[in-house]
Structures are given as C-alpha cells and as structure tokens.
Chain A
Amino acid sequence: MIAAAALAALATVCALAAWRMTSVRWTWRAPRAAIALWQALGLTWGLASVGALLAYALEPWGRGVIHGLVYLVTHWREPSGLQRVGALAAGLALLTVLMAVVVVAMAQTLQARRRHRLLLSLVARDEPAVPGVRVVDHPGAAAYCVPGLKSQVVISEGTLSLLSRDELAAVLAHEDAHARERHDLVLLPFAALRWVLPWSKVVRDANASVALLVEMAADDHARLRVPPKRLATALLRFGTAGVYITPHGALGMGAENVMARVNRLVQPGPKMPARYRYGIVAGAVLLTTSAPLLWFLPQ
C-alpha cells in the first residue's frame, strides 16, 4: 500500500505545486530554472497518477508496478477484485491517453510546420538587409520562428518598416534563442495537455505561464547581445502595431505579458543567486526521478 499512497501523494503535491506556480513571480527572475521545474512537475504528475492507480491494482502480488506489469503480461492473470481491475483499467487508460495526446500533438505540429515551410518556399523572399531571414510581403507585424532541425526565422514586410535597425537585430536575437534552444519542444506537451483538458483552469494557466517563461528566457538570451532597451521598444512597437481583432481564445493577457517582459528588460531586478537556481534545477531532477523509483517499490 505504501507505493500506491506515496504515488498518489506525489501526484497531489505536483498538482498543488503547479497551481501555486501559476501565480508566483519569482519564476520571472530565473526563467530557465522555472521551465525545468515546470517540466519536472508535468512529467512527475503524469507518472505518479498512472503509477498510483497501477500500484493499487497490482499491490496484492507485492512486486511493484514495473515487475507487477511484467508478471501480469507473462502469466496473464488479472488482479482479483472489481476495484483492482477497475484501477488497472483506469491506470492503463490514463497512460495511453497521455502518451497518445503527445504523439498526436507532435504529428499535427509537424504537419502544420511542413505546410508552413512549403508555403514559405513559394511566397517568401530573401532580403539582402537581413541575411538568413525569410521575408513575407505583408503589411502586418509578424516575427516568428518555424522550429525544426533547420529552424527558419521569418519576418513580415510590416516588421521591416515598423522597427529600427537595432530593434530588428534585437528581435532576430530573440528568435534565434527560440530556434537554438528548441523552445517549441518545451511548449509541446503543455499545449497537448491543454488540448485534452480545455476546461481545466490550472492546465490553461500552466500553459500560459510556461509560454511566458519561454519568452523571458529568449529575452534573456537576446539581451546578452543587444541593448535591452531596444528589445523593449521593439516589444512595445509590436504590441501596438495591431490593427487586428483579438483572436478568439486569447485571454486578454496580452498587454500584461508584454509589460512584464518590458519591465524586466528596462529595470532588471536583482538576479536570483546561482545557488537558488541550481537548487531549483536539482529539485526538478530529484522530482523527475522520484516517480520512476516508486514504480519499482514492491509494497
């Protein structure tokens, strides 16, 4: 019973921690460490929830989750009792859903990107002023990265006329960070979870928090190479360039997020001491290893 209880407790702790993390602000002072913690929380929550159900179902054999599952498959015995069979079915179903959702999201994302790249190859052009960047002839302001093995940075004609040279360099440094650190891979599982639990406020907030942290991490990367003030003015120019209607599903958090990023750039607070940052990362690693270890616990 210990393993099942411990895993259930772990899943609850992760859910509570995620709920807390959506409203705290210290994460902005160390976005990279916070992202690692978010990933650990998400992964551990999934493994612990599935593990708790399976551990309960397989508990009478006293073999733990992993060896219990092996025993189940090799000897083809079902656990006795309706409750335990139910827990087994629920655990396996949850595991399948979580894995399937990530796989489907990945497939859809890859397909959308392929189509996007194909269209870019047809209508985008090179611009001598910004080598290595694809330019789309459209008056709207857009700057983004199509991630992949060969990530592509794209800007619109509108961006070229909106920003000064320095600001454009700042934007490109920001996008370069996205491309280099593969931030899309960080966001993918959270976006997938949001897709399967669209009504859950915690999942929605978690997704938004991670998305903002990823932007802040890219801002931090860019400020090493360009004046932070230029990045800040570029952000504000972008935010005000919209002549568009708010896309449906947008949370009205736009301005708040932009201002949070601008304030960080213009008046950087005290940096989080390195020992705290390493502490957070170590905690994330410890958390990630805890669930798999509990899967082996025999009782």
Chain B
Amino acid sequence: MDVLWAERSPLTAREVGRLIADRDLAPTTVMTVLDRLTRKGFLTRVRDGRAWRYEPAASRDAYIAELMLEALDMTGDRSAALTRFAQAVSGTEAEVLRKALTELEEE
C-alpha cells in the first residue's frame, strides 16, 4: 500500500514488485496481495492491455481519520468494540482538569 500511496499514477503488479526493492518477493506474491486488497475494497484497478493497473481507493489519511474517529469514540454508536484509556472533554470541563493537572504537578 505504501508504494501505491507514494506514487501519483496507477501501477501494474510488476512495477509494484520493482519498487519493493528491499524485499525479495515473487511476482505472484505481489499479484496475490494486490488482488486481495482489491477484493477488500482498498484498491481499484483498471485493465491496461494484458495487465491490471492498481490505484488506492482512498488516501492513507482517510484511513487514519477513520481509525481515529473510532478510537476517540466519535462515530456516535458508542460501541464496545474498543477499550479506550480516557476521553478528551470539552471546553469548560477541560478547564477543571487543567487546574487539577497544574496542582498535581506543583506538589
């Protein structure tokens, strides 16, 4: 995915394999991974002659945003899917906490 995100234009499996230079991957492995990511909806692909050209369906930031929305419990469904450390609070409430923090640090 990182390779595809770094590139501006859609790539074929062969080009992706070449860009993952540091790892000795078989071309079929690259193709399998790309195919699976496509089926899961993370990549889109278009025919280009005999090969497929792959492109990310959404940007990396979009996925990070989705993760963080869930992590901060801002999706609205208040599911029990994740267990969180603490939640940020809003305006005036935060003021109470800020005061407590200063007091605690001065001790």
Indicate, yes or no, whether A interacts with B: yes
Q: At the interface, yes or no: B6 with Cβ under 8 Å from chain A?
A: no
Given contacts A238-B88, A244-B72, A229 and B96 within 8 Å (CB-CB): no
Interface string of A220-254 (1 = CB under 8 A from B): 00000000010011111111111111111110101
Contact B94 A123 (CB under 8 A): no
Contact A233 B68 (CB under 8 A): no
Contact B76 A247 (CB under 8 A): yes
Q: Using Cβ atoms and an 8 Å threshold, which residues of chain A touch B66?
A: 119
Interchain residue pairs with CB less than 8 A apart (23): A112-B81, A113-B81, A119-B67, A138-B67, A142-B71, A143-B84, A144-B71, A144-B83, A233-B105, A236-B97, A236-B100, A239-B87, A239-B94, A240-B97, A240-B98, A242-B90, A244-B74, A246-B90, A247-B72, A254-B87, A255-B93, A258-B97, A266-B104
* B 57-107 contacts with A by CB, 8 A: 60, 63-68, 70-76, 78-90, 93-94, 96-98, 100-101, 104-105
Q: At the interface, yes or no: B42 with Cβ under 8 Å from chain A?
A: yes
Q: How many B residues touch the partner, as a band?
A: 35 or more
Q: At the interface, yes or no: A47 with Cβ under 8 Å from chain B?
A: no
Contact B63 A236 (CB under 8 A): no
Contact B88 A239 (CB under 8 A): yes
Contact B89 A242 (CB under 8 A): yes
Given contacts A144-B84, A242-B94, A247-B74, A255 and B67 within 8 Å (CB-CB): no
Contact A238 B85 (CB under 8 A): yes
Contact A236 B104 (CB under 8 A): yes
Contact of A136 among B1, B67, B82 (CB under 8 A): B67
State the CA gap A137–B59 with chains docked (Å): 13
**In whole Å, how far is A242's beta carbon from the nearest beta carbon of chain B?**
2
* A 134-173 contacts with B by CB, 8 A: 136-138, 140-147, 154, 156, 171
Contact A233 B64 (CB under 8 A): no
Q: At the interface, yes or no: A178 with Cβ under 8 Å from chain B?
A: yes
Q: At the interface, yes or no: A174 with Cβ under 8 Å from chain B?
A: yes
**In whole Å, how far is A40's beta carbon from the nearest beta carbon of chain B?**
19
Given contacts A144-B83, A145-B82, A252-B93, A229 and B104 within 8 Å (CB-CB): yes
Q: Using Cβ atoms and an 8 Å threshold, which residues of chain B touch A120?
A: 67
Q: Using Cβ atoms and an 8 Å threshold, which residues of chain A touch B76?
A: 247-249
